């Protein structure tokens, strides 16, 4: 038999998605893969029901339905402080997962280097492998997960084609400050590098932190490929609606990459989601308040149990320190946690380039009752998990 492709040789399956399967197997409260267990906004579901009876069952325009792009352009123009052209500066994709992949394939050649901050969302590793690029990792140092500007410049000196910026950041919950973004922007300019953003948690930011769109920094529009999605903002991770916003010359190419990868995102879902894109500011304020309540509830519960953890500034993930249990493998710890305590988590090692195995990631995008149930189970963690 011929051999399979070289590019997939070093691939593992996604540990995040694997942990969902393991959680289901043990009937654990699944706080591993980040998705809500509460309903999306009623208006979206009502519109979806109507859409099934209307004429949206064939392909939409490959780079996104006109209606969707117009609504998105209006919303993002407001937020990004720049008039975005729905026809020339947007590609609608199947989730931000495709947006990131298409962005990577649009700007990199095999062998190109790409800066990735560590810890990082595990897909970026796979994205670089699939596009043949080579990651240069730059550490973010806890507890604030700040980078060292000199280390970052040393990475830029290796002539990367792009830097991947996840802001607010999964899994560490960092919200990059304006000054940090400006530092990255100055280096991107100096070393003539693209910046590919993943801003799917743009609306999940806790006071007093604020999200700054990288593309809105002076001079950065031209070199930024902004990726995001509707998954987290409207609690519709299964709809797989994402997008790329970038200057016309980049979008021209991204449109082709996207077209040949997937042709297009689901037409009826795009149409139904327009309802969400047209929500007023109140919706985003309520979303922020809802997640703030969940974050605080969950952090309080963890403090009562006495497990040390990160305090997210944005996004909905917490890293817990499990050193006291003495496990060499955080993956093994997560399996035991799902089986014996009944809570699903993701091993921290799947996010870190460095040799880190004393952290696990939990998320709190769940109904309060689900979070209380998880906390009840975690109360017994020291009884149920024997220290090694």
Task: Give residues in contact with ligand GLN (CB under 6 A).
Answer: 16-17, 33-34, 97, 121, 170
Q: Which helix (H) or strand (E) holds 97?
A: helix 95-107
Q: Which residue is nearest to ligand GLN (CB)?
A: 34
The least CB distance from residue 365 to ligand GLN, in Å, is: 9
In the complex with ligand GLN, the residue whose CB is nearer, 113 or 240, is: 240
Spatial distance between the Cα atoms of 311 and 272, rounded to a whole number of angstroms: 35
Kindly state the smallest distance separating residue 222's Cβ from ligand GLN, in Å.
Answer: 28
Within 260-328, strands assigned E span 317-321
Asked if 116 and 135 touch (Cβ cutoff 8 Å), the reply is yes
CB of 68 closer than 8 Å to CB of 273: yes
- In a 3-state reduction of DSSP, which class is residue 382? helix
For the bound state, the minimum distance from the C-beta of residue 351 to ligand GLN, rounded and expressed in Å, comes to: 9
Give the nearest distance from C-beta 226 to ligand GLN in angstroms: 17
Of 123 and 193, which CB lies nearer to ligand GLN in the complex structure? 123
Nearest alpha carbon to residue 164 among 210, 211, 96: 96
Minimum CB distance to ligand GLN, residue 21 (Å): 12
DSSP assigned state of 205: B
CB count, 10 Å around CB of 284?
17
Check if the beta carbon of residue 265 is closer than 8 Å to that of residue 238: no
Q: Choose between 358 and 363: whose C-beta lies nearer to ligand GLN.
A: 363
Q: Which is nearer to ligand GLN, 122 or 335 (CB)?
A: 122
Rounded CA-CA distance 242/155 in Å is: 29
Helix extents (H) in 159-212: 178-190
Q: In sequence order, what are the beta bridge partners of 171?
A: none
Closer CB to ligand GLN, residue 23 or residue 275? 23
Q: How big is the chain, counted in residues?
A: 388
Smaller CB separation from ligand GLN, 221 or 234: 234
In the complex, minimum distance from the CB of residue 364 to ligand GLN, in angstroms, rounded to a whole number: 12
In the complex, minimum distance from the CB of residue 199 to ligand GLN, in angstroms, rounded to a whole number = 12
- Closest separation in Å from C-beta 361 to ligand GLN: 8
Cα 168 to Cα 49, 54, 103, 148, 384, distances in angstroms: 33, 37, 19, 18, 34
On whether the CB atoms of residues 378 and 343 are closer than 8 A, the answer is yes
What radius of gyration, in Å, describes the C-alpha atoms of the chain?
21
Nearest distance, CB of residue 300 and ligand GLN, angstroms: 23
Give the full edge-to-edge strand order of the sheet including 317-321.
Answer: 317-321, 359-363, 346-347
Q: Which is nearer to ligand GLN, 97 or 270 (CB)?
A: 97
3-state class (DSSP) for residue 332: helix
Looking at the Cβ atoms of 7 and 17, the one nearer to ligand GLN is 17
Nearer to ligand GLN, 17 or 57 (CB): 17
Residue 339, classed as helix, strand or coil, is: helix
Toward ligand GLN, which CB reaches closer, 11 or 178? Answer: 11
For residue 269, the minimal CB distance to ligand GLN (Å) is 16
| Residue 274 tokens, joined | 């327009």
Give the contacts of 170 (CB within 8 A, at least 6 positions apart).
34, 121, 198, 200, 201, 315, 317
């Amino acid at each position: 038999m011929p051999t399979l492709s070289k590019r997939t040789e070093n691939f593992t399956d996604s540990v995040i998605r694997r942990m969902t399967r393991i959680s289901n197997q043990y009937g654990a409260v699944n706080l591993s893969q980040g998705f809500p267990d509460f309903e999306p906004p009623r208006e979206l579901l009502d519109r979806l029901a109507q859409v099934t009876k209307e004429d949206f069952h064939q392909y939409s325009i490959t780079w996104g339905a006109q209606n969707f792009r117009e609504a998105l352009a209006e919303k993002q123009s407001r937020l990004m402080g720049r008039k975005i052209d729905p026809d020339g500066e947007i590609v609608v994709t199947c989730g931000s997962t495709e947006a990131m992949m298409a962005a990577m394939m649009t700007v990199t050649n095999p062998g190109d280097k790409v800066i990735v901050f560590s810890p990082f969302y595990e897909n970026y590793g796979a994205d670089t492998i699939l596009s043949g690029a080579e990651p240069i990792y730059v550490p973010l140092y806890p507890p604030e997960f700040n980078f060292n500007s000199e280390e970052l410049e040393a990475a830029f000196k290796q002539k990367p084609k792009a830097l991947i910026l996840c802001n607010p950041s999964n899994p560490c919950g960092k919200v990059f400050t304006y000054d940090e973004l400006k530092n990255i922007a100055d280096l991107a300019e100096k070393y003539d590098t693209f910046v590919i953003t993943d801003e799917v948690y743009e609306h999940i930011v806790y006071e007093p932190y604020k999200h700054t769109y990288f593309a809105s920094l002076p001079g950065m529009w031209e070199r930024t490929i902004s990726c995001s999605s509707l998954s987290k903002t409207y609690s519709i991770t299964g709809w797989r609606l994402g997008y790329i916003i970038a200057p016309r010359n980049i979008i021209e190419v991204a449109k082709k990459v996207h077209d040949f990868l997937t042709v297009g995102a689901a037409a009826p879902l795009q149409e139904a989601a327009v309802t969400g894109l047209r929500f007023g500011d109140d919706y985003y304020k309520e979303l922020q308040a809802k997640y703030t309540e969940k974050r605080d509830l969950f952090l309080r519960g963890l403090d009562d149990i006495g497990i040390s953890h990160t305090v997210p500034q944005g996004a909905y993930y917490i890293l817990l320190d499990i050193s006291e249990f003495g496990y060499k493998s955080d993956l093994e710890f997560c399996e035991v946690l799902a089986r014996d305590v009944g809570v699903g988590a993701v091993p921290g090692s799947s996010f870190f380039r460095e040799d880190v195995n004393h952290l696990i990631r939990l998320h709190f995008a769940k109904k309060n009752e689900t979070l209380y149930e998880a906390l009840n189970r975690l109360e017994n963690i020291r009884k149920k998990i024997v220290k090694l």
